[in-house]
Amino acid sequence: MHRWLRHIPNLISSVRIVLAIPIALALLHHAFLPTVGLFAIAAASDLADGFVAKRFGWQSAVGGILDPAADKLLLATVFVVLAVLRLLPLWLMAAAVARDLIIVLGAIAYRICIGPIEARPSVVSKLNTLCQAAYVASVIGREEFAMPAAGVVTVLGALAFVTIVVSGIDYVLRYGSSAWQQAKSRRALPNVGGVA
């Protein structure tokens, strides 16, 4: 088997990152139907890269970072554009973007101060991604097809906000705890072997 085949999941994730540009442009031009098609392709690519990586054992450190980064970039881009178009509340967009910034900056700080970080999304983080995607789809569907009902969009928006907050706190607590344990371990090292 050719070694380059191992990079297929990363290539698929990279395609999802690139798709953020045409999706944003389509939204800005109120081309909601093409947006739905492009968003569906992005969602399919998210399922495909995970399936291929696990099915053939092609997981990698790069893929562990690239896959969630692609999801965050795509959803953040869509949230920002929809907020600019006044199709979703500015505060909800700010919450979503702030969460992602906190996670990214926290990961960078962890890498610099502590060391390598294992990028493993939690269950609540995956649920948040699903809720955000469902909310975005409902907003676009409501604008283009007058469905689902406004109440459904509101409920999905509330779910997205709750999972944004909970998953953000979860990340801070998990990696904050990990950093604290690593720092304690490092402080204890000089005392090993009776060295004062």
Q: For all residues of the chain together, what is the average pLDDT? A: 85
User: pTM of this prediction?
Assistant: 0.83
Q: What is the pLDDT of residues 75-99, one digit of tens each?
A: 999 999 999 999 999 999 999 999 9
Choose among 139, 143, 136: nearest CA to 164. 136
Straight-line distance from the first to the last Cα atom of the chain, in angstroms, rounded to the nearest whole number: 54
Q: What is the pLDDT of residues 125-174, one digit of tens each?
A: 889 989 999 999 999 999 988 889 999 999 999 999 999 999 999 988 88
More confident residue, 101 or 58: 101
Handedness of CA 63, 163, 45, 79 (dihedral sign): negative
Render 135-158 in DSSP notation, one character per residue.
Answer: HHHHHHHHHHH--S-HHHHHHHHH
Distance CA 121, CA 165 (A): 15
The alpha-carbon radius of gyration of the chain (Å, integer) is: 20
Tell me the domains of the chain and their CATH numbers.
3-187 (1.20.120)
